[in-house]
Amino acid sequence: MADNNLRLGSVVPNFSAETTHGDIQFHDWIGEKWAILFSHPDDFTPVCTTELGRVSQLEPEFTKRGVKLIGLSANSVESHDRWIADIEKHTSKGSKVNYPIIGDKDRKIATEFGMLDYQDITNVDQKGLPLTVRTVFIIDPKKTIRLTISYPAAVGRNFDEILRVIDSLQGGDKYKFTTPVDWQPGQDVIIPPPIKNGPAEQLNKLFPGEKREVLPYLTYHKDPTAQA
């Protein structure tokens, strides 16, 4: 079953893996970058093909933000290599799959990371093993898990949303803000209550200028990343 220690704020497990870019040690591969690990149920499947194609289109945006991408599917690397040709054929604008895909045919990594679908007993392969669901981990340069989310096998993910979360996390780490519902870069951010109610010197240093208080515990400020 899932590793109950894989919570937000915990250090992501290290592991060895064979990938389409060669063998890796996960922590060494991350290095001092941000990273996204995202899993898929199976090679040569329709939803997965659309997802990997979309990630290839967005890869320059992730790279711009210092984020490395790595996929995982419960198949061999040889299968991944054949599948990549279909992904690139389907994807418009000639995008290439330049990021590695982990071969996890024995479900070892998927099991350690809690990526398996135990809820629906019909979601098994010919060996009777549960399918790998669509799980995403966002990991920071300290190897800390900052986001984890799982989708059922039938539902494709929105990777523009994953990019939005990266913007929020990276901006919040640097400028100490939080972000409201549906926030997009450039829109107003929230001043966290501990800073809002803390020393005025610290508040004005982190959030200079106009502040828009709408409730005693909800104060907005212009997005510092838009002014940087």
- Is the residue at 101 inside a domain? yes
What pLDDT was estimated at residue 102? 97
Same-domain pairing of 139 and 92: yes
111 with 184, same domain?
A: no
How many Å apart are CA 73 and CA 110, to the nearest integer? 9
Q: In this predicted structure, what is the pLDDT of residue 12?
A: 96
Question: Would 8 be classed as within a structural domain?
Answer: no
Provide the pLDDT for residue 129: 66
User: Is this structure's pTM higher than 0.85?
Assistant: yes
CA angle 205, 207, 211 (to 5 degrees): 135
pLDDT of residue 60: 95
Residue 49 falls inside a structural domain:
yes
Structural domains in the chain (count): 2
Look at residue 1 in the predicted model and tell me its pLDDT: 40
Residues 148, 112 share a domain: yes
Containing domain of residue 109, as a range? 16-157
87 and 183 assigned to the same domain: no
Q: Are residues 184 and 152 part of one domain? A: no
Domain harbouring 141, CATH code = 3.40.30.10
SS3 of the chain:
CCCCCCCCCCECCCCEEEECCEEEEHHHHHCCCEEEEEEECCCCCHHHHHHHHHHHHHHHHHHHCCEEEEEEECCCHHHHHHHHHHHHHHCHHHCCCCCCEEECCCCHHHHHCCCECCCCCCCECCCCCECECEEEEEECCCCEEEEEEEECCCCCCCHHHHHHHHHHHHHHHHHCCECCCCCCCCCCEECCHHHHCCCHHHHHHHCCCCCEEEECCEEEECCHHHHC
Residue 167 lies in a domain: no
Here the CATH number for the domain that contains residue 209 is: 3.30.1020.10
Question: From the first residue on, what is the mean pLDDT of each consecutive set of 10 residues in the chain (228 residues)?
Answer: 71 96 98 96 92 95 98 94 92 86 92 79 56 90 96 92 98 98 97 96 96 97 87
Q: Are residues 191 and 84 in the same domain?
A: no
Catalytic, out of 12, 36, 37, 48 = 48
Give a yes or no: residue 6 inside a domain. no
- Does 188 lie in the same domain as 153? no
- Find the distance separating the first CA and the last CA of the chain, reported in whole Å: 44
Is the domain of 130 the same as that of 180?
Answer: no
Task: Mark whether 88 and 146 lie in a shared domain.
Answer: yes
| pLDDT score for 3 | 47
- The reported pLDDT for the residue numbered 123 is 55
Residue 23 lies in a domain: yes
Classify residue 155 as exposed, middle or buried by CB count within 10 Å of its CB (0-12, 13-18, 19+). Answer: exposed
34 and 147 together in one domain: yes
Rounded Cα–Cα distance for residues 206 and 137 (Å): 29
> Same structural domain for residues 198 and 93?
no
Of 11, 13, 21, whose CA–CA distance to 103 is shortest? 21
Query: Given 130, 157, 184, which residue is the final one in a domain?
Result: 157
147 domain residue, yes or no: yes
- Residue 95: the pLDDT is 84
What is the predicted pLDDT for the residue at 132? 79
Residue 117: per-residue pLDDT: 76
Active site residue 143: no
* In a domain? residue 79: yes
Same domain (yes/no): 95, 200: no
